[in-house]
Amino acid sequence: MEDMHFDLLVIGFGKGGKTLAASLGRLGKRVAMIEQSAAMYGGTCINIGCVPTKALVHHAENPGLGTPAERHRTAVDATRALTTKLRDANFANLDTIDSVTVITGRAEFLDPKTVRVTAGDDVLDLAADTIVINTGATPTIAPIPGLADSDHLLTSTDLIDLDHLPKRLAILGGGYVGVEFASIYAQFGSAVTVLDSARRAMPREDDDIAEAATDILRGAGVEFVFGAHVTQVRDIDNGVEITYEAGGTTHTLAADEVLAATRRRPATEGLGLDRAGVRTTASGAVEVDEFLRTSQQHIFAIGDVNGGPQFTYISLDDYRVVADQLLGTGVRSTKDRKFVPYTVFMTPALSRVGLTEREAVDRGLPVKVVEKPVADIAGMPRAKIVGETRGLMKFVVDRETDRVLGAALLSVDSQELINTLTLALRHDVTASELRDAVYTHPSSTEAFNEVLSTPPVRTA
């Protein structure tokens, strides 16, 4: 590498960055992709995020033969094989482009235009006209005495690659990550206990949806302790002891492993952003405008590192925004995003888009709520065919305009159904149109016919 100057330099092999690198590389632009670990080629999603966790969901929902420990080990081995295959494919996707160079090492800015890459004793100084920060986010560990030093502490990254099945798994945090792993490992056969300081799980959801989801998880064997303030974690023989206060009383919980399932923080440590003149927010995210430009006009930040929603599909849309700046009209922005859906892959999955009932009421909108338990939806035989009738479908509708303001689907296939609803919300399709549409049979989508025909359970 005699010429160390590039048209584009991307720090981090995540979804948005790798897509941008490939797009510009195929146009003949000289591109450098820097990734600090060969184990992370392809980014968080395929290596330690969406793909391995959802692979484990699949295996947990479809248990094979053998003991719980054997079934878990089979699932872990299959998941490793899948992520290895995808990681190799992602590397090849860039490495086979003549004008793209993949460099493995730790990156840090020397100045706004220069990035130093270090790998052991090897050092490269690279310059680029455009630089994209795509370093993602990392798990945080709560400052609980003894937690960080415990030999039995796991992050989500650790847990998906754990060779053995914990007989007793304690999860600190009842948010989406905690709920998803609780569902997975309870189905594998672990005795799962979730400790959370809040009054209920998933505080962003309406009470009825969170309660329905919690009831399903309790039915699967998950124990929840709400209002629990963990005060100490200490290792004991063959496990860990967690001390917490709840209801004015001190309690202890013994477990084999403890999962820290709290929030993730943008991965900016060691990047030397101050030397680049790149500002960060109070939360540590890289500060960007609606076009994802940082305080330096030639430096962009995409994906989890910029403080936006931490979803792979948001990173991909970040790519579209930056690509439009570099190759297109320059008008696309993050303000164009409307109604971003999400799914929590418990079993069955919980998917939501738009406003919750609580948010709609707080905004003073004229609201009606229609909802129905999945088990009671006669026009949705697919749920009975696949043997998954647990859950609840809920729609929040504007009484005056008939527009769907939001929906929460706790049901089989909800991760697919929510995309149809998202498109409907983006294009102002009314609840009546969704109610009267013709859907294939037997499908989960045809539940819309029945649920949206029911009288409202509440109005506001």
Q: List phi, psi (to 5°) of 415.
A: -65, -20
What residues form DSSP beta bridges with 369? 396, 458
CATH topology of domain 153-262: FAD/NAD(P)-binding domain (3.50.50)
Q: Is the pLDDT of residue 1 over 90?
A: no
Q: List phi, psi (to 5°) of 207.
A: -60, -40
Between CA 104 and CA 98 the distance in angstroms is: 17
Mean pLDDT taken over the chain = 96
The CATH H-level (homologous superfamily) assignment of domain 5-138+265-336 is FAD/NAD(P)-binding domain (3.50.50.60)
Indicate the CATH number for domain 342-459: 3.30.390.30
What's the predicted TM-score (pTM) here?
Answer: 0.94
Q: Is the pLDDT of residue 2 over 80?
A: no
How do residues 153-192 score in pLDDT, each as one tens digit? 999 999 999 999 999 999 999 999 999 999 999 999 999 9
Between CA 226 and CA 228 the distance in angstroms is: 5
How do residues 97-149 score in pLDDT, each as one tens digit? 999 999 999 999 999 999 999 999 999 999 999 999 999 999 999 999 999 99
What residues form DSSP beta bridges with 106? 118
Which residue, chain included where needed, has tokens 């699949």? 58
268: nearest Cα among 448, 11, 3, 58: 11
CA distances from 166 to 68, 81, 175, 232, 243 (A): 10, 22, 21, 21, 19
152 is catalytic: no
Same fold: 5-138+265-336 with 342-459? no
Q: Which residues contact 96 (CB under 8 A, 6 or more apart)?
A: none
Largest CA distance in the chain: 71
Which among 164, 229, 298, 441 is annotated as catalytic? 441
Domain ranges across the chain: 5-138+265-336, 153-262, 342-459
Which residue, chain included where needed, has tokens 């999962």? 259
